Structure 1
Amino acid sequence: MDIRFIPQAEIDKQLYNSCVHFATNGSLYGYDWYLNATAKEWDLLVEGDNYVSAMPLPRTTNWIGRTQLTQPVLVPDLAVYSVKPLSPKRIQAFWDAVPEEYRGGGLTVEPASVPKNAGRFEVTTAVGDALFLNKSYEEITDDFPSTYYEQLARAERADLLPVPALKPEAYADFWLSVHGKSVDNEWKYHAMQRLMYQVLHRSWGNAAGIQTRDGQLLAVSFNVYSHNRIFPLFRAESKAGGDAGAMTLLNDTLLRSHANRSLKIASEALYQRSR
């Protein structure tokens, strides 16, 4: 199996993004622009001249100069992306091909990309179930708990409304106000805006929100559409929003508008059925 190491500066972006796009296990998180905004430093393992399979290697270097695999912030999972069958042999070959200068560390990857022998790395399997939307709203919500409907009743009593339009800056400001200022959250604040503008540039998603009649923002979710999935990113709900059932109403609005479509909500960003 011809697996080659390619440093970040030499990656053919078109070939790599094509691999992620058409891979049987492709994901929003694998695109080069997503990794550039989150991992910053990353290299690549590829199979074949045309990148039929590819494994991104996000890395950090510690104070003694030791390079290690590091899961990027805002990236729930990565993978060995491939348009070929994801056989255990292919997956193991990629992990075995990680250069020796990667001394340790680890990644969280989707289940099919977990090797039998992780060697010097710590490999975590991404978990979660997908919510399929290819049926009626009533069928989708049939087994939801009573708390879900209680939250919807709260939202109805509060007379909440969807947000007509929300710019990335306003979205990020609300997210930061909910999660609080810190060094990590300040970095996320700026990274989120870069990612949202990348998505909007491609017309792949939109910012959704819930507000009061007087315009007070209560809950937000940036929804991205990729690989027949909905990725609800960077969600946030204020305390007032939680008391009024705002996030549940936001979730319910998404379900009602996407029922009977061949989509699912990504397992790493599961729809919240109840509080």
Structure 2
Amino acid sequence: MNIRLVKQEDLDKQLYNSCIHYATNGNIYGYDWFLNATAKEWDVLVEGDKWVSVMPLPRRKNWLGRTYLEQPRLVPELAVYTVKPISPKRIQSFWDAVPEEYRSGELTVEPASVPQKPGRFDVEAAPGTVLFLKDPYETIIGDFSPAYHEGLLRAEDAELRPIGSFKPETFADLWLEVNGKTADNEWTYHAMQRIMYQVLHRSWGGTQAVQDKKGNILAMVFLVYSHSRIFPLYQVETPAGKKVGAMTYLWDNILKMHAERNLKLKREDILV
């Protein structure tokens, strides 16, 4: 298997992003623009001249100048992305091909990309269970927890209502207000805006929100549609929203809108 390292500055964006787009295990987090907004420094392992499989390697250096793998912030999972069959042999070959200059590190990847022998790396499978939306709405929520249904009752009593899309700045401002200003949160505040604008530029998603009867925004979710999947990249709920089940009401509306469609998401993302 012909696997080689390609440095970030030598990346063929068209071939790379095409592999991410058509990969059996593709996701939004692998695209070059997403990694540029989060990892900053990363290389990629490539299989074949036509880039049929790729594995991004987000990297950092420690105080000794040694290079190691590090999971980027705002990236819950990566993968050995491939348009070929996902086999344990192919996955292991990629991990074995990581150059020796990467001395150690940790990555979280989608479950099929976990190697049988991780060697010098700590590799975790991304958690989560799939929720398929191809069924009717009543079937989708049929086994949701009592807390979910209690939240809907509280939202109904509070007369909440869904509202349209907002600019990334509006979302980010509310997120920062709720989470507080720290150095890490300031970085996230700016990074999420860069990513949201990239998504809007491609017409891949947008904001869903809920307000109370006075017009106060109580909960927001930024959704991305990619690879027949819904990715809730960021979500925020105000303290007042928590009291009246705003996020539950928001997700319930999203599920109603997308029921009986060939889409899926992670069950844990909707806080069931």
TM range (shorter): over 0.9
Cα separation, 2, equivalents of 1:271 and 1:183: 28
Could you say which residue in structure 1 is the equivalent of 2:270?
271
Q: Deviations over 1:40-61 (max 9, x none)?
A: 0000000001100000000011
Distance across 2 between alignment mates of 1:212 and 1:155: 9
Q: Match of 1:68?
A: 68
Does structure 1 residue 142 correspond to structure 2 residue 142?
yes
Structure 2: gaps spanning 5 or more residues: none
Distance 1:225 1:5 in 2: 30
**Matches of 2:251 and 2:112, distance apart in 1:** 29
- When structure 1 is superposed on structure 2, of 254-263 and 177-186 the one drifting more is 177-186
Matches of 1:251 and 1:54, distance apart in 2: 34
Deviation at 1:270, TM superposition (A): 2.2
Report the RMSD for the aligned CA atoms in angstroms: 1.0
User: 1:242 is paired with a residue of what secondary structure?
Assistant: helix
Structure 1 residues 165 and 112 mapped into 2: Cα distance closer, same or farther (>3 Å)? closer
May I ask how many residue pairs the two structures share in their alignment?
272
TM-score, with normalisation over the residues of structure 1?
0.97
TM-score by length of 2: 0.98
Residues 54, 81 of structure 2: 8 Å contact kept: yes
Distance across 2 between alignment mates of 1:21 and 1:266: 19
User: Separation in 1 of the partners of 2:250 and 2:270?
Assistant: 10
Instruction: Could you tell me which runs of 5 or more consecutive residues in structure 1 were left unpaired when the two chains were aligned.
Output: none
1:48-63 alignment, distance < 5 Å = 48-63=48-63
Contact between 1:131 and 1:270, CA under 8 Å: does it hold in 2? no
1:203 aligns with 2:203: yes
Where 1:219 maps in the other structure, the secondary structure is strand
For 1:30 and 1:44, the matched residues in 2 are separated by 11
Q: How does 1:116-195 map to 2 (within 5 A)?
A: 116-195=116-195
CA distance in 1, matches of 2:76, 2:161: 30
* Deviation at residue 215 of structure 1 after TM alignment: 1.9
Counterpart contact for 1:130–1:270, Cα < 8 Å? no
Do 2:168 and 2:193's aligned partners in 1 also have CA atoms closer than 8 Å? yes
Q: Is the 8 A contact 1:109 1:126 kept in 2?
A: yes
Please tell me the residue identity of whatever aligns with 1:2.
N
SS of residue paired to 2:86: coil
Match of 1:241 in 2: 241
Partners in 2 of 1:245 and 1:86 — Cα distance? 41
2:28 matched residue in structure 1: 28
SS at match of 1:270: helix
CA distance in 2: counterparts of 1:117 and 1:143, whole angstroms: 37
Q: 2:109, 2:126 within 8 Å by CA — same for their partners in 1? A: yes
Indicate conservation of the 8 Å contact 2:165/2:206, yes or no: no
Q: How does 1:210-249 map to 2 (within 5 A)?
A: 210-249=210-249
